Chains A and B, each alone.
Chain A
């Protein structure tokens, strides 16, 4: 293994007066999200802007990411997944709620602590074509973090370490002076991964990292992410709308609908015995690759469209499209708690239902 890879991401930063405490042992909570909300104001008027409403992109999300695990976050387009990722890497400020990293609230961090946080929590973006500066060489892109966090790599050895990182993510180190447009989509995503790895992070937020790639390349990138997790002890928050990819990589899965989490559990729980109607409908929409099993699939067709996040339904967000909805659903929002299925589900009438036949693999 190369030298860069040898310096594990999990190691305590060499800076003894580090602004953040060292990482907890594997399996302990590293990042806790509590009641996270992000509302974007809708304004009218040119000179005198007045707020006429809010888009509730994220509206009360609770999640816990343990050290060394992969937490999958699934949901359809516009459910707030990407806003969660932006909040996590401090590109947006939450409206309410808190993100606790190693016990400290990210929104209250400033200066050194925030700098340290940004170093320890990195992000891989969805679009590998837009996320790399077309006027910088690959070497400069990967090494950029080191000019901000100079203590990680001394100036002299930076070229060598950049090339080691490129080698580690499966890129030819000789391409260090090339520009992003000279690479394919999969290779560009590897550049993005190398950029995130360069800072030796604890957590990498993967915001749909493979959805812009060819299916054949998706598998390579997902496998690379898994290898890197084993080598560096990384924790991933893996955001995607592709259920099979999430199932493949995740230890635990959370399902989002219209700004909040509706069901959470291990991948076996969520995929094997989903108890929230939305999860069941979502799973039933996935095409099966095994022709023999196709007849056994329980097909659920939802009525209507996703309501506007600017004007969400009262009570349960899903009630407008739910076949189980009763009067209570319009009045009382269901909490995300264990309702006897062994994992939390935000439905008043939660019951396990095997939608997709479980293929033993």
Chain B
């Protein structure tokens, strides 16, 4: 026999091993904990917010951060900390749902186009090209103009903009995996298309899709900001991070905290998404996994 591989640790259920490795990856664990905290705050926003989002106190307007208003107040004397907390739910909801929707639809379309090729590929990808041909914001504006403003329509609009991106990324990855010998091997055993797609093609085509997801979550929060800024997303006086950022822009020279704190909220959230995405991609790859388990990174 040739050289024996290094002995393996005792067998544990695979999901527990995955979780264990994720916990050992300090950066990913930190990102996950921060995200969890942000989500908890967003879900129980009323409990965490010191004031109502729209409680005005004109006498106290444009106050710099202080003990009574840790993030300061805006031009109408509203507490920015409260607005950031309450705005979190809208921003996160739009981010998660729009990207989730685009991920499911786009990945499915890309998978079918890449795997079956031929006219399926031609039809689906030409449709995607048509969506791609419009500038993203223009397309979203058009959708919102037709369906009317509101959170759920914003989610749909952003999802439609992102579907072609996921479809393209998935298709490109699938085209490479489809020709692998192990896919043919599985077919020669008699496996169905469904089995080939779910057990062989999708898992091996996943890494770029995971990265695309974490990047898109970031962009979706910003897209919501852009649409709100144009008056098509969240309607004032209700807060969302993007809308606050847009509103604070006017006062940036006079009172930096108006734009700074919602901006920081977006930065931290987006950074955590990306770090967690990277960690997940590594942990889900058996080759990386062995290195990590052995090296104890």
Name A residues whose Cβ lies closer than 8 Å to a Cβ of B. 86, 89-91, 114-115, 118-119, 122-123, 125, 127, 130-136, 144-145, 147-149, 170, 172, 174-175, 177-179, 181-187, 192, 195, 199, 214, 217, 220
Contact = CB atoms under 8 A, between A and B. Distances in A.
A89 B188 contact: yes
B190 A181 contact: no
Give the most central of B5, B191, B199, B285: most A CB within 10 Å. Answer: B5
B181 A131 contact: yes
B297 interface: no
Contact of B184 (A91, A147, A187, A214): A91
Given A177-B11, A181-B290, A183-B5, A133 B186 contact: yes
A124 to B, nearest CB: 9
Interface string B8-48: 10010000000000000000000000000000000000000
B189 interface: yes
Interface of B: 1-6, 8, 11, 180-182, 184-192, 195, 199-200, 203-204, 285-287, 289-290
B2 A217 contact: yes
B290 to A, nearest CB: 6
> Lowest 5 CB-CB distances: which A-B pairs, in order?
A179-B286, A118-B190, A130-B181, A131-B181, A145-B189
Contact of A179 (B186, B195, B290): B290
Given A114-B190, A148-B189, A178-B5, 19 more contacts: A91-B184, A118-B189, A122-B188, A123-B185, A130-B182, A133-B180, A135-B203, A145-B189, A147-B195, A170-B1, A174-B8, A178-B8, A182-B6, A183-B5, A187-B1, A187-B2, A195-B185, A195-B189, A220-B1
23 contacts: A122-B189, A125-B184, A125-B185, A132-B182, A132-B185, A133-B180, A133-B182, A133-B186, A133-B204, A135-B203, A135-B204, A136-B199, A145-B189, A147-B195, A148-B189, A177-B11, A178-B8, A179-B290, A181-B286, A183-B5, A184-B2, A192-B185, A214-B2
A91 B188 contact: yes
A144 B191 contact: yes
Contacts of A145: 189-190
Classify the secondary structure of B's interface with A: helix
Nearest to A118: B190
A182 B9 CA distance: 13
A182 B290 contact: yes
Contacts of B290: 179, 181-182
B190 A131 contact: no
Given A91-B184, A182-B5, A149 B287 contact: no
A225 to B, nearest CB: 16
Contacts of A184: 2-3, 5
A21 B124 CA distance: 43
A148 to B, nearest CB: 4
A13 to B, nearest CB: 13
A237 to B, nearest CB: 14
Contacts of B203: 133, 135
Give the most central of B8, B188, B285: most A CB within 10 Å. Answer: B188
A213 to B, nearest CB: 10
A300 B87 CA distance: 83
A125 B181 contact: yes
B190 A119 contact: yes
A134 B192 contact: no
Contacts of B200: 133, 136
Contact of A123 (B6, B180, B188, B191): B188
A134 B287 CA distance: 8
Contacts of B191: 144, 148
A131 B184 CA distance: 8
A148 B191 CA distance: 6
A187 B1 CA distance: 8
Given A134-B287, A135-B203, A127 B1 contact: no
Contacts of B182: 130-133
A297 to B, nearest CB: 34
A230 B289 CA distance: 40
